[in-house]
Amino acid sequence: MRKSPLPIALFSLAALAFTAVSASAADKAGAPIKALYVTGGGFHDYDGQTVIVQESLAAHLPSLELIVNAVPSNRDAPAIHPAFEGDDWADGYDLVIYNMCNSGRQTDDDYVARIVAPHHAGLPAVVIHCTMHQFRPDETGKWNAFLGIESTAHERGAPVTVTLTKPDHPALAGLPETWSYPKGELYQVISEGDNVVPLAVGVSSEEVEHTIIWTNTYGEGRVFGTTIGHANETMLEEEFQTLLKNGILWALGRLDP
């Protein structure tokens, strides 16, 4: 008796469906991105890091258009960053990348609320290194809730070893399970929010361990965070640049199954 062709037909349909989903995922990952890069302040070479980030994203994520909003790269930078003028400051952007450290203590609740409001409403964000100390101490509580972690200090400059705690997480794709960078500044994480998922820990030369890569859900928004990024040499390393690219795509929801 001749066998029914139905199993072959079903297999063909499944293959076509898989191909369509794969193509859709690829299209989504490569869709244009308009990102605001907020930077500047003291303690780091933000001018140099801006160039590194621009060149890295041009090479690793060419679909991204990076709009830079910076204050001077020195300790006399203004406390109020011009990127946040007006309640509509985030309109038109798909993502905000924060790499800044310019204002220290901030008690203006309205100012901090204006910054985090778009993210609570769903705007994705990536936060890097000294951004965790942008408002220190965070007297409003809003900044730490947005970041997902609280840090008020860091270890002395020393080599840092990164160890992935969730190596299968899509935001860590392409990264080794451990790697080290010489010019580190391991941030002390003293608390983590309920919606934080730690992805990696940093271990200093004195064997002190702290969360160093994580994700946070803030209201409707996704936040990808890392305290890596103290030195320009670290940002030039392939591991950091892969992490930055992955973090952007994860925050945008483009690495989801």
Please give the helix or strand (H or E) that residue 198 lies within, else none. strand 197-204
Which H or E element spans position 17? helix 6-29
Q: What pLDDT score does 135 carry?
A: 83
pLDDT in tens, 83-119: 999 999 999 999 999 999 875 566 678 889 999 999 9
DSSP tag of 108: -
Range of lowest pLDDT (32-36, 72-76, 110-114): 72-76
> Residue 29: its pLDDT value, please?
61
d(CA 179, CA 63): 28
> What pLDDT score was predicted for residue 24?
46
Reply yes or no on whether the pLDDT at 13 is more than 70.
no
| pLDDT attached to residue 164 | 98
How confident is residue 77, by pLDDT bands cut at 50, 70 and 90? low
On the CB side of 176, how many CA atoms lie within 13 Å of its CA? 9
State residue 104's pLDDT score. 58
Residue labelled with tokens 């509509």: 88
145 contacts: CB under 8 Å, gap ≥ 6: 116, 193, 218
Taking the C-alpha atoms of residue 47 and residue 40, their distance in angstroms, rounded to an integer, is: 7
pLDDT digits (tens, 9 = 90+) for 204-242: 877 889 999 999 999 999 999 999 999 999 999 999 999
pTM above 0.75, yes or no: yes
Is the peptide bond between 137 and the residue preceding it cis, with omega within 30 degrees of 0?
A: yes
> How far apart, in Å, are the Cα atoms of 78 and each of 84, 216, 256?
12, 28, 38
32-251: CATH architecture: 3-Layer(aba) Sandwich (3.40)
According to the model, what pLDDT value does residue 105 have? 60
Average pLDDT over residues 60-86: 87
Task: Please report, for residues 4, 101, 195, the alpha-carbon distance to residue 74 in angstroms, rounded to integers and kept in the order given.
Answer: 75, 10, 34
**Cβ atoms of 211 and 188 closer than 8 Å:** no
35 pLDDT more than 60: yes
Phi, psi of 8, rounded to the nearest 5 degrees? -65, -40
pLDDT at position 103: 59
> What is the per-residue pLDDT for 137?
74
Q: What's the distance, Cα to Cα, between the start and end of the chain in Å?
A: 42
* Range of weakest confidence among 42-46, 67-71, 85-89, 249-253: 42-46
Per-residue pLDDT reduced to its tens digit, 129-157:
999 998 877 778 899 999 999 998 898 88
Asked if pLDDT for residue 2 goes beyond 60, the answer is no
6 has a pLDDT exceeding 80 = no
Tens of pLDDT, residue by residue over 176-212, are: 999 999 888 999 999 999 999 999 999 987 788 999 9
**Side-chain-facing half-sphere of 22: CA atoms under 13 Å:** 6
Cβ contacts of residue 32 below 8 Å, gap of 6+?
Answer: 63, 64, 65
